[in-house]
Amino acid sequence: MTGIRTEEARALTWELVDLDGDPAADPPVPSHAALWRSVRAHGDTKTQRSKRTLALPEFAADALREQRARQAAERQRAGPRWEEHDLVFASTTGTPRSGNVRRDFQAICEKASLGKAWTPRELRHSFVSMLSADDVAIEDISHLVGHSSTRTTERVYRHELRPVLRTGAERMERIFGQRS
């Protein structure tokens, strides 16, 4: 729901997530996540523009609150095996997640009757495509996903969701449509 890269999610720590925001601030500060690191070499994000702080939709903040509660239960179950790394998306023993992210994601998709062909990267493509379909400016979408230019956003990530391209017909109808 935010368009973050898997490598950014794997490096996200609770210290960089604010699930309460500051509604009393002027202007109000929403729940947000600071994406300043990744699991890339040296912990850097893919590009300098990838360092960004994103507001969280309230349902995403709620899901992260549930994640924190689940993680607290996992910490208790793991006992001395727990390795504290402050990761939002840790393994059941607190360690960083690795290649098993894809496997776990595919298991979730299969359980939801979506099949096993989906990959976590497709969530990012869907985020871009849904915002585009909702008429969000490509510059804004590019900024949200941390691209250094709109070119990558347009050519690689944005996919047409509408089965029929309507813009031309709608505009011609408006220009030449029935007149009384």
Phi and psi dihedrals of 125, rounded to 5? -60, -40
* pLDDT the model gives residue 180: 54
Residues present in the chain in total? 180
* pLDDT the model gives residue 81: 97
Which tokens hold the place of 96?
Answer: 């960083």
Q: What percentage of the chain reaches a pLDDT higher than 90? A: 54
Cβ of 139: how many Cβ atoms within 10 Å? 12
Give the integer Cα–Cα distance in Å for 140 and 138: 5
| CATH number assigned to the domain with residue range 1-98, chosen from the 4 options 3.40.720.10, 1.10.10.10, 3.40.140.10, 1.10.443.10 | 1.10.443.10
Q: What is the pTM of this model?
A: 0.80
The mean-pLDDT minimum among 46-55, 82-91, 158-167 falls in 158-167
Which tokens hold the place of 67?
Answer: 């994640």
- Where are the chain's structural domains? 1-98, 119-180
* pLDDT the model gives residue 47: 65
pLDDT digits (tens, 9 = 90+) for 63-105: 999 999 999 999 999 999 999 999 999 999 999 987 678 888 8
* pLDDT the model gives residue 45: 66
* pLDDT the model gives residue 133: 87
Give the integer Cα–Cα distance in Å for 171 and 125: 28
* pLDDT the model gives residue 26: 95
* pLDDT the model gives residue 48: 65
Q: Say whether pLDDT at 164 is over 70.
A: no
Q: Say whether pLDDT at 109 is over 80.
A: yes
Question: HSE-up of 35 (CA within 13 Å, CB side)?
Answer: 28
* Catalytic machinery residues: 5, 46, 124, 147, 157
* pLDDT the model gives residue 112: 94
- The answer to whether residues 39 and 101 touch, using CB atoms and an 8 Å cutoff, is no
Q: Say whether pLDDT at 33 is over 90.
A: yes
pLDDT digits (tens, 9 = 90+) for 110-157: 999 999 888 888 998 999 999 998 889 999 999 999 888 899 888 888
* pLDDT the model gives residue 131: 92
